[in-house]
A and B are shown apart, each in its own frame.
Chain A
Amino acid sequence: MMLRIKRVPTVVSNYQKDEGEDAARRGGGCGRNCLQKCCIPGAKLPLYTFKRAEEIPGDKCVLEHDDNQAPVAFLDSLLLGQWEDRMQRGLFRYDVTACETKVIPGRCGFMAQLNEGRHLKKRPTEFRVDKVLQPFDGNKFNFTKVGQEEVLFQFDASEDGEVQFFPDAPVDADSSPSVVAINVSPIEYGHVLLIPRILECLPQRIDRESFLLALYMAIEAGNPYFRLGYNSLGAFATINHLHFQAYYLAVPFPIEKAPTRKVTTLGDGVKISELFDYPVRGLVFEGGNTLQDLSNAVSDACIFLQDNNIPHNVLIADCGKRIFLLPQCYAEKQALGEVSSELLDTQVNPAVWEISGHMVLKRKKDYEEASEENAWRLLAEVSLSEERFEEVKALIFEACSYTLSEKEDEHLTQGAGDDKPPLEGTGSINKGRNCNMVSGTQECLVLQ
């Protein structure tokens, strides 16, 4: 049985049209600056290259700024400046700073915003919610169709290990660039989309390389109030073309303030905790001997969830130091008619930002009556049940540990010139500190 819900899709680009309109326009050149084969040759966009951090997280303290008095990092400046530029050029559908917003009184500090312009007064579209993995469909809207003016800059790793900025770099299709584009229906100031390897047209699913890119962006911005988020299909992703979202809000998110209980530390130093006293059940990933260890632990957990058809959201917070993973089931409940009409009427689609505690409301009534109880009640519907969460959690840990052994196999078979992401600290796997749990290895079985 296919599960579907109807909702108004968020318009993230000025070139995103109804399905019908889009299909009708196929054939013939597009006549404007998009990111497809017709317009890419000769295109130029700013390029920001970041330095890959090989050092352990401890040393990264030097690079990050975790208090308000550290000077603004360059990527931060670049992003804000470019965004303001697009504001002044009128590319956004509305001025988000003209939307009233507040912190709801209470212990959690949920945030509410009254945004009447975000969702078009158009008919809702059908979304399939029971398949987290769906193949990319070139006929539907994807980010290669956006106008180049909506792209702020290319974002990739530096070749020579130095942070560099090129105001006018050619877009080299062969290098598979990743880009940062604006979201023309912003939730907050600076709302952008990070689209890894945009020309490869990857569907909305996590892979190790892309997640690492997102993590690098959080680190480079060096601003704890600049957070990245990810919604899987079935967890309110709008577009099936791999993307992360990000924006600025200089207040703590309720999810960041929620208490956590440590559950385990993986062999590679990644510490996994779980949230408690928060309406949505989820895991928090921190630490790791290297950045890649942290990134891979989260990616592997996501890959497991998507392979097992469990919709989920991910929040990258605290300059990349804390990552929240939240499996959810709201869409499924909605499709099965299990959500109260009262909640459905608010038309809140609980994606990563809502789950983190930032609610965007369409109706004045909902905004004025917003309370901690209401917010909690809505989010509690999103969460997996305790029983189900325990199941999923146990399976995630299994997946994370098993993947350690896969990594080892990769290391043995990987040759030079392979374009897979290089394995960091390749010596670390065999140090005996983090042993595998799968038979066939020579090490002792150890759980830390």
Chain B
Amino acid sequence: MEPPQLGLIEQSFNSRYSNWAREALDELPDNFTITDPCISGHPIVFASRGFLKMSGYSRDQVVGRNGRMFQGPNTCRRSVMEIREAIREERGVEISLLNYRKDGTPFWMLFRMAPVFGKDEGRVIHFVAVQVPILRRRQRRRNGEGLCGEILSNSCRREVCSSSSVELAGVSAADSDCRVQAMEGSVWQHVDNYVFPKDCKPLDGFQLISFLQFALVLFTSLEIEEKCEASDTEKQLAATAISNVLSVLTHYSESTGRLVCEKRFGPSLVSSSLHISLGRIKQSFVLVDPHLPDIPIVYASDAFLRMTGYARNEVLGQNCRFLTGVDTDPSALHQIKQSIQAQQACSVRILHYRKDKSSFWNLLHISPVRNATGKIAYFVGVQIEEGSVDRHGLSPEMRQLSVVGSIKVAVRSSSMSYSIH
């Protein structure tokens, strides 16, 4: 995957903290990355020297990529889900995670992430993620049974013939440093004979059933927890590292005047989690709030800004009428107004004007959007410039409707949780 928008990524960092912050961050010994959730793909915008050394990648290979590049087949999906939810809810998380280096070797680390809020924006602008390798592996196991697992699994590996050991290591990478414990005169030797007869004769039905029953009992009680607990020291290291990084970032944001802080501050026009969900939608659209005076824009997508030539701060809080001009048909405007009052969807073809005064025919679709209370929270306006073509062959109407659908899901879901405003 090509790292997208490297210019945007540089900007993301420099405009907020200035270039000098990089030097300060480079002086920290910790492993960490800084990511920007507002850029498509949620890429890494900064990776510390320690992180690069730990992972085996060079800076170019990491900046612009998403953190999932370090995940692999044995990375726990539930842990990934927890991280994803923390991002969505714009809060911190601390969890053990299995990552993979460039050379493919897996390692456990304590992953601790914290949001960085823009003071004026009141929403998350970066996430800082610290990674502390968990040095002494600790697996939670029941006494004695863990040993069986080791014996059997290691014996299995010895006996299996043609598969490459690399493949096996891949499949059970987490077990790679288990050692076989010798046990004398025990039932395990007996098992060994059953399981690995030297001449590899097939077992008869009776032997099969008893082995099966034995093995099933064994395996269902093994309950090996495939997780790695970090020690208190490692947790302390993570906490300190986060604190170090946040201090540097806060300090340097003062120099640019675009302050950041660790806690959310001030009102935002839409909730942060909604803002993040809407960022996934690449088409041009705006959300307006019909409950506020003059029905202002509360969200505008990047594509809308590109299409119309305006900057975000020029459109937020404004009514959409700035798009109209001398030759805009008043009856189209009237139709829009009526639909909003009737709380219905409508499509109009309307002449709109960009910031540079050039005009374009806008195939505009407007629809009410409800939140989790069931009541209308916003209206969405989706713009398509007449004549633009979709590479999948979808008609403009269908493209617009898919945007409406995505937004309806986002608004409804983001307002469901009592903890999210």
Contacts and interface: CB of A to CB of B under 8 A. Distances in A.
Contacts of B416: 101-103, 111, 251
Given A80-B401, A224-B84, A442-B202, 9 more contacts: A67-B66, A67-B84, A72-B406, A79-B405, A167-B395, A225-B413, A252-B81, A262-B223, A438-B208
B404 to A, nearest CB: 5
Contacts of A71: 40-41, 280, 282
Interface string B84-103: 11011000000000000000
Interface in A70-108: 70-72, 74, 76-85, 88, 95, 97-103, 105
A446 B280 contact: no
29 contacts: A66-B68, A67-B68, A68-B87, A69-B37, A69-B40, A69-B41, A70-B66, A71-B41, A71-B280, A72-B282, A74-B392, A80-B409, A82-B401, A84-B402, A85-B398, A88-B367, A98-B375, A100-B372, A101-B416, A105-B418, A287-B73, A321-B77, A322-B77, A433-B162, A439-B205, A445-B195, A445-B208, A445-B211, A447-B156
Given A256-B81, A433-B167, A68 B392 contact: no
A67 B276 CA distance: 10
B216 interface: yes
B313 interface: no
A376 interface: no
A250 B409 contact: yes
A122 B339 CA distance: 35
A56 B74 CA distance: 13
A77 B410 contact: no
B279 interface: yes
A443 B87 contact: no
Interface in A258-287: 259-265, 269, 286-287
A120 B69 CA distance: 49
A317 B279 CA distance: 23
A433 B393 CA distance: 46
A72 B281 CA distance: 7
Contacts of A412: none
Pick from A68, A390, A448 the residue with the most CB of B within 10 Å. A68
Nearest to B404: A84
Interface string A103-132: 101000101000000000000000000000
Interface stretch (A57-65, A177-185, A231-239, A348-356): A57-65
B77 A97 contact: no
Contact of B88 (A68, A95, A257): A68
A393 interface: yes
Contact of A446 (B81, B160, B395, B405): B160
A441 B392 contact: no
B219 to A, nearest CB: 5
A318 B161 CA distance: 35
A417 interface: no
A352 B410 CA distance: 23
B161 A260 contact: no
B162 A431 contact: yes
Contacts of B226: 262
B274 to A, nearest CB: 10
A15 interface: no
A286 B171 CA distance: 13
B331 interface: no
Nearest to B397: A85
Contacts of B167: 433
B373 interface: yes
Interface of B: 1, 37, 39-42, 66, 68-69, 71-73, 77-78, 80-82, 84-85, 87-88, 152-153, 156, 159-163, 167-168, 171-172, 195-197, 200, 202-205, 208, 211-212, 215-216, 219-220, 223-226, 276-277, 279-282, 345, 367, 369-370, 372-375, 392-395, 397-406, 408-410, 412-414, 416-418
B68 A394 contact: no
A354 to B, nearest CB: 17
A167 B220 contact: no
A138 interface: no
9 tightest CB-CB pairs across the interface, nearest first? Answer: A80-B405, A81-B402, A250-B413, A69-B42, A77-B402, A81-B401, A84-B401, A433-B163, A84-B405
A266 to B, nearest CB: 11
Interface string A375-403: 00000000000000010011001100000
A42 interface: no
Contacts of A259: 78
Given A252-B85, A321-B77, A443-B200, A261 B223 contact: yes
A101 B412 contact: yes
A251 B81 CA distance: 11
Contact of A262 (B41, B71, B162, B224): B224
Given A58-B73, A100-B374, A269-B171, A69 B160 contact: no
A433 B225 CA distance: 23
B133 to A, nearest CB: 22
A102 B219 CA distance: 40
Contacts of A82: 398, 401
B393 to A, nearest CB: 6
A102 B168 CA distance: 45
A423 interface: no
Given A84-B401, A249-B413, A397 B392 contact: no
A136 interface: no
Contact of A68 (B42, B372, B408): B42
B189 to A, nearest CB: 17
B42 A67 contact: yes
Given A251-B413, A263-B220, A85 B202 contact: no
Contacts of A256: 78, 81
Contacts of B160: 432-433, 435, 444, 446
Contact of A78 (B197, B279, B369, B402): B402
A248 B393 CA distance: 24
Given A189-B409, A440-B202, A98 B220 contact: no
A5 interface: no
Contacts of B40: 69-71
